[in-house]
Amino acid sequence: MSINKSTIWVWITGNATVIQNPCYINEILVTPKSAKKTTLSIYNSRGSTDNLIMTVQCPTGSSKFLSFSKPLYCSNGLYIVVDGDLIGVLIVYDVEPLSGKDKKE
């Protein structure tokens, strides 16, 4: 039996551990609150600032949307750090199905 990945979206408004398991990031939407520059740092991590994958900078007062034709793989989970004034960040990601002994029937 083949089980597909599950697509999940999450809206965060500050620093957060999004998921502590491996995942694939498909899309990111960063929405700043004010005219200040906002920076989003994305880490392949369960909650520390090790393993920086990328930094997203939003121009003054403008949202930024990223869609990846090949999703970004985070083998150690996904941790987000926000620097700036933020309405929120929408992250769309896939999680791998459980396999082997971890699978629940």
Is residue 91 within 8 A of residue 27, CB to CB? The reply is yes
Better-predicted residue by pLDDT, 14 or 2: 14
Q: Please tell me the predicted confidence (pLDDT) of residue 14.
A: 92
In a domain, 48, yes or no: yes
In a domain, 104, yes or no: no
Fill in the amino acid letter for 19. Answer: I
pLDDT higher than 50, residue 102: no
38-47 pLDDT per residue, tens: 899 999 999 8
Q: Please tell me the predicted confidence (pLDDT) of residue 27.
A: 96
Residue 51, domain extent: 6-98
Better-predicted residue by pLDDT, 4 or 89: 89
pLDDT higher than 70, residue 60: yes
In a domain, 34, yes or no: yes
In a domain, 103, yes or no: no
In a domain, 105, yes or no: no
Nearest residue to 34 via CA among 82, 86, 81: 86
In a domain, 19, yes or no: yes
Note the pTM of the prediction, 2 decimals: 0.82
In a domain, 94, yes or no: yes
Cβ neighbours, 10 Å, residue 54:
13
Give me the CATH number covering residue 33.
2.60.120.340
Q: How many domains does the chain have?
A: 1
Q: Which two tokens stand for residue 79?
A: 């941790």
73-99 pLDDT per residue, tens: 999 999 999 988 888 999 999 997 655
In a domain, 18, yes or no: yes
